[in-house]
Structure 1
Amino acid sequence: MLNSVIVVDDEASIRTAVEQWLSLSGFNVQLFARGEDCLAQLPRDFPGVILSDVRMPGLSGMQLLERLQQEDPDLPVILLTGHGDVPMAVEAMRNGAYDFLEKPFTPQHLMGSLGRALEKRRLVLENRRLHEQADLKAQLESTLLGMSQGLQQLRRQVLELAGLPVNVLIRGETGSGKERVARCLHDVGPRADKPFVALNCAAIPEALFEAELFGHESGAFTGAQGKRIGKLEYANGGTLFLDEIESMPLAQQAKLLRVIQEHKLERLGANQSIGVDLRIVAATKPDLLEEARAGRFREDLAYRLNVAELRLAPLRERREDIPLLFEHFARASAERLGRKAPLVSGAQLAQLLAHDWPGNVRELANAAERHALGLDSPTLATESDAQSLAGQMEAFEALCLRAALRQHKGEIKGVMETLQLPRRTLNEKMQRHGLVREDFLERE
């Protein structure tokens, strides 16, 4: 429940009296003698109410109201007025003030006005939160494409983890989109306006790894000309994405562990520690704990990195996402080339669904670009990796069910009519494919 109140009044006796009343009633009170100080320290989406005198030196209560309206028109401002200021206060209410209290006022009158203002503020902030969540969800749906249960769960997990100050480990096969997921964790979280720094641990020679990660001072080693900021320091305030973390040399693993524990680092050749505040998102294909048991990775670092884990399913485990992804990549490639993407035939769709896609989304994107260029491979499905006819039919059936559920926004009657299925048969098929109508309901 919201219970924060900022009191702005140049009279110390008024500030003290109001603070005593409010504190005894359980309010969190912050006092300012000047409107300028209030503005300078007011946090974004302040969860409370402003209580301000009208007549003050410097910024008056009316001027403070005007400035607050510019910052946040929905922030409740209650003005404290003398008898001669009532007409001015009434005018202020027309300009956005929530209420005014004529001095001297009783604690009961003050509490009543504050209670109503705080309830209004609670509703406004809750509405904002819901809108922000809806916007972030839409952003994720346009970035992490897919209709499968696995993709829907992944988007929910990313949305839940994005705002939490914890390190995340992403596990997935090559080409499954680990960096894209890491970028989403950054973009929909509170660090979105800070740097996102990506580093592929397998692409850096071991001799250069420490300098790349920690930076160096001039002359720290042969060839170190000038000071260089390392990836850890450059990502300060934001997110550091460490891809193929299992390839990090053991010596650097120990130093990274220390940075995570102490939030400090030292450049090569320096004696002074530098404070860093960053989130680490690491990606790996193998199980880090198995790597630790084999002596190739530090177990303590594995636990530090894996506070939360996201698993990316390979494309062969979510075949119903293949047509949507293929169409998206083909259309994007065609637009980039100034061409119209050719249609996908039924035979081509069957090949797409039958192929195992060992290169996952990266391989699919490449195939889609070739399709946009009119350079389709003679066949995508071979005898060794072709899915059975029954498997292809199951995948296509799930695709049709999802399309109908999306079309009718989870309304079962419309799905029954479109697919010409009785209710019981539709329920059985939905259950077999793990489909839940609530996932397709239109959100307000």
Structure 2
Amino acid sequence: MSKITPSPTLTDSKILIVDDDPSLLRLLGIRLSAAGYQVESAKNAKMALGRLESFHPQLVISDLKMEGMDGMALFEQIRAKHPHIPVIIMTAHGTIPDAINATKQGVFSFLTKPFESKELLAIVEQAIRLQPAELKHDQADNQWREKIISRSTIMESLLQQSKQVAKSDFSLLIHSQSGTGKELLAKAIHLASPRHNEKFTAINCAAIPEQLLESELFGHTKGAFTGAEKNHSGLFQATDGGTLFLDEIGDMPMSFQVKLLRALQEREIRPVGSTQSIKVDVRIISATHKNLQQAIIDKTFREDLYYRLNVVELVLPPLSERREDIPLLAQHFLNQSAKQSHINISGFSQEAMEILISADWPGNIRQLQNVVEQTVALSTEPLISEMLVKSALRDKATILPSFAQARDKFERDYLAKLLKITAGNVSQAAKIAQRNRTEFYKLLNRHHLSAEAFREE
């Protein structure tokens, strides 16, 4: 028997299969994957609707008879929101009249169980081939943003703006709260830019000690300082031609800001210990959760550097302003966690999901992911319960700060304690901290602490 294989241009297409029969779902997945298609599966129609938003398939294959929402109800929802995605309905022999009626309503085709691989692949190839060319182009054109899971209008507006500015080489500043996915957006912009084939490098400016930041970004020569046993290329050189993402730029020390400004103006860097400058071609995307305009007033951030970095500002909304994305994100994290842990959990109870949607989420997406992972680890049922979600939200351990946030808190508390012990005597406090007065004052300014407030009457 001859084997039908889809043409090479079709085999990278995405197919979503929906069936409440696990064995058939697995068999279909094997057959289509073996033919070269990218396959996602869903055990029911509601799960399939969630998969649509993140997977962006070119074709949906669904069983007709399923518990809850059936195949035709699923088709109606797909047609309403994604009218160009063809749907193939699978049906048992006794429901052929229903299937014929379905094709009259717009279903692409139907398959009568049991069917052979040859028949399946022929219909699948035909469905994908007949898709409008502009739809195929749009779907391929959206690959840059496929890791950003969202259906909210506020995020869609931001993504359209991001795609527009990605075409240029202007420096971008992303402003948002911690835990919202700034790096994910920066990477998406890189993928939508003319530099997408070059390297994307991310660095957290708050996590690198001040004395190492210059070496990390600009590199150093052998013998430039103790421990520099060989020449080291910094991230600017390593990312030449690509995009460099500077996260938490608001925490960059003032002493280094002028060096970064020069590098951006001259488009060249000078490694530590070197007398020679090196030309670099790097697109800069920076991000912060701080108010940099206030930092300029407080003299903790250079105004000239701010305008160099902030040619275009993108504001990434907190999770509380995009609540319609919570079900999609929660299901995505659940699928990830369940797969990694080999746990059979399919979703959340309706009550559990309502709590997730209405929660405050001060830690944003990072906190949501942590809560979902905790509930998956503790669940003994196929559906996450309301009680588990409530417990995870109450547990302070689920709201873990980032390394930078934890370090900032430690520094602030430590400095405040020193000033309290010394009654605001900066010289004495600096001596205990083993720092000179100038450096100690910089630390106080960074954390908005005033020695005068601790001095006794």
The answer on whether the counterparts of 1:351 and 1:381 sit within 8 Å (CA) in structure 2 is: no
Q: Which amino acid is the alignment partner of residue 194 of structure 2?
A: P
- Percent of aligned positions with the same letter in both sequences? 42
What is the CA–CA distance in structure 1 between the aligned matches of 2:253 and 2:337, rounded to whole Å?
38
What is the CA–CA distance in structure 2 between the aligned matches of 1:234 and 1:129, rounded to whole Å?
37
Q: Which amino acid is the alignment partner of residue 366 of structure 1?
A: N
Aligned partner (choices 249, 252, 271) of residue 245 of structure 1:
249
* Equivalent in the alignment of 2:163: 159
Structure 1 stretches lacking a partner, 5+ long? 1-126, 383-444
Q: Is the counterpart of residue 273 in structure 1 residue 281 in structure 2?
A: no
Aligned partner of residue 378 in structure 2, secondary structure = coil
Q: Which amino acid is the alignment partner of residue 136 of structure 1?
A: D
Q: Deviations 1:298-355 (Å, cap 9, x if unpaired)?
A: 0010011111111111111111111111011111111222233242111101210121
* Equivalent in the alignment of 2:181: 177
What is the CA–CA distance in structure 2 between the aligned matches of 1:131 and 1:161, rounded to whole Å?
23
Q: Which amino acid is the alignment partner of residue 333 of structure 1?
A: S
The answer on whether the counterparts of 1:245 and 1:283 sit within 8 Å (CA) in structure 2 is: yes
CA pair 134-328 structure 1, distance change in 2 beyond 3 A: same
* Equivalent in the alignment of 1:41: none
Correspondence list, 1:209-358, <5 A: 209-358=213-362
Q: Which amino acid is the alignment partner of residue 188 of structure 2?
A: C
CA pair 190-354 structure 1, distance change in 2 beyond 3 A: same
Return the offset for 1:196.
1.0
TM (norm. structure 2) is: 0.53
* Equivalent in the alignment of 2:24: none
CA pair 130-221 structure 1, distance change in 2 beyond 3 A: farther
* Equivalent in the alignment of 1:368: 372
What is the CA–CA distance in structure 2 between the aligned matches of 1:128 and 1:235, rounded to whole Å?
35
Aligned partner of residue 230 in structure 2, secondary structure = coil
Q: Deviations 1:225-276 (Å, cap 9, x if unpaired)?
A: 1101111111111011111101111121111111111111111111111110
Aligned partner of residue 143 in structure 1, secondary structure = coil
The answer on whether the counterparts of 2:374 and 2:392 sit within 8 Å (CA) in structure 1 is: no
TM (norm. structure 1) is: 0.55
Aligned partner of residue 373 in structure 1, secondary structure = helix
Aligned partner (choices 177, 186, 190) of residue 186 of structure 1:
190
What is the CA–CA distance in structure 1 between the aligned matches of 2:143 and 2:184, rounded to whole Å?
16
Structure 2 stretches lacking a partner, 5+ long? 1-131, 380-387, 395-457
The answer on whether the counterparts of 1:331 and 1:372 sit within 8 Å (CA) in structure 2 is: no
Aligned partner of residue 203 in structure 1, secondary structure = coil
Return the offset for 1:132.
5.4
Instruction: Please say which of residues 335-344 and 272-281 is displaced more in the overlay.
Output: 335-344
The answer on whether the counterparts of 1:342 and 1:371 sit within 8 Å (CA) in structure 2 is: no
The answer on whether the counterparts of 2:221 and 2:230 sit within 8 Å (CA) in structure 1 is: yes
The answer on whether the counterparts of 2:355 and 2:390 sit within 8 Å (CA) in structure 1 is: no
Aligned residues: 255
Return the offset for 1:175.
0.4
The answer on whether the counterparts of 1:354 and 1:381 sit within 8 Å (CA) in structure 2 is: no
* Equivalent in the alignment of 1:168: 172
Q: Which amino acid is the alignment partner of residue 167 of structure 1?
A: S
Q: Deviations 1:9-61 (Å, cap 9, x if unpaired)?
A: xxxxxxxxxxxxxxxxxxxxxxxxxxxxxxxxxxxxxxxxxxxxxxxxxxxxx
* The structure with more radius of gyration: 1
